[in-house]
Amino acid sequence: MNKENIKLRVGVIGFGYLGYHHARIYSNFEDVELVGIVDISEERRKKAQNDFHVPAFSSVEELLDKGVDITSVATPTLAHACTTISLLEAGVHVLVEKPISTTVLEAKEMVEKAKSKGCILQVGHVERFNGAVRALFNLIEYPRFIECHRLSPFPGRGTDVSVVHDLMIHDIDIVLALTKSSVVSMDAVGVPVFSSSEDIANARIHFQSGCVANLTASRVSMDRLRKIRIFSEREYVSTDYSSQSLLIYRKKPGKIPPDSNPMEFIEITPIQVSNEEPLKAELRSFVASVKNGIPPEVSGEDGLKALELSTQIVEQIWRGM
């Protein structure tokens, strides 16, 4: 039988905000069958059954008994490692939400388990699947300066971890993928406002390539802002994650005449990008990776690297307090 025609049996573990949307998207894919949802809450299990007409279980073991090929793990971060490792041990391919885990040691165990079992382990850094970000990777080869802002009002979820692990880690992952370079040094500062850990944080990172990245994340902002600006030798690129828009600013060729306004010689070019829902693109990529036996676009190793750097940032913030 053609592998492309095989319908994968999928389960979703954790039926909170993100888990709901994983289930929603999987239920509309033609090449997978949503066979079960796991959550410790009876109320959420009932909602899962009512909304998606599939069995809802209170444990991963019950889902495994049902028979499943791939899973999304959308539990609180503290449960990522134990849940993912038990699934990988059973030979199930896993997409685990970001951050990959709470500790670097756990993340390394998850990556090693996936390797030893020959399973796909993908990490849910969903911004990689934003149409504007995909276009960005095709435009910038040697970034010199990167500035990221990710600001939002205080959420009702995700505050069990630092804003660095909750929000900034998206930009950390993107910056690491763009620079493809090791970190030389960094400075970081953070402030707790409503949580026991940082709600506002800034990190300035120097890479061996010479690139410098300045990242700011806040979950106590009055307004939402999700932007990345990248400067290279030839252009300046501004990307808005929310609107999935991308603009390139370039100096027009030729000399600027005396007594003229130099800003009139800046050419602004909007770039056409895909506006597909990023989570849908992410899950489609995960399914394709499993079906075709190819590495995931955002691997367990990528998730580990992002966690390692975000953990270093948090540790430096704590040292400075």
For residue 271, the cross-strand partners are none
Q: Does residue 85 carry a pLDDT above 60?
A: yes
Measured between alpha carbons, how far is 279 from 287 in angstroms, rounded to an integer? 12
The helix (H) or strand (E) run that includes residue 267 is: strand 266-270
Parallel/antiparallel/unpaired status of strands 56-57 and 32-38: parallel
Q: Report the pLDDT value the prediction gives residue 159, as an integer from 0 to 100.
A: 65
For residues 58 and 188, membership in a common domain is answered with: no
Q: How many domains does the chain have?
A: 2
Note the pLDDT tens digit of each residue in 9-50. 999 999 999 999 999 999 999 999 999 999 999 999 999 999
For residues 170 and 316, membership in a common domain is answered with: yes
For residues 293 and 256, membership in a common domain is answered with: no
CATH number at residue 10: 3.40.50.720
Mean pLDDT of 86-108: 97
For residues 107 and 132, membership in a common domain is answered with: no
Please check whether residue 287 lies inside any domain of the structure. yes
Name the residue range of residue 79's domain: 3-125+279-298
Please check whether residue 303 lies inside any domain of the structure. no
CATH number at residue 167: 3.30.360.10
For residues 252 and 139, membership in a common domain is answered with: yes
* Residue 124 buriedness (CB in 10 A; 0-12 / 13-18 / 19+): buried
Q: Does residue 291 carry a pLDDT above 50?
A: yes
For residues 271 and 283, membership in a common domain is answered with: no
Burial 247-284 (b: 16+ CB within 10 A, else e): ebeeeeeeeeeeeeeeeeeeeeeebebeeebbbbbbbb
For residues 108 and 47, membership in a common domain is answered with: yes
For residues 238 and 171, membership in a common domain is answered with: yes
| This prediction's pTM | 0.91
For residues 133 and 120, membership in a common domain is answered with: no
For residues 143 and 289, membership in a common domain is answered with: no
Q: Report the pLDDT value the prediction gives residue 285, as an integer from 0 to 100.
A: 98
Report the chain's mean pLDDT, rounded to a whole number: 93
User: Are 112 and 88 a contacting pair, CB within 8 Å?
Assistant: no
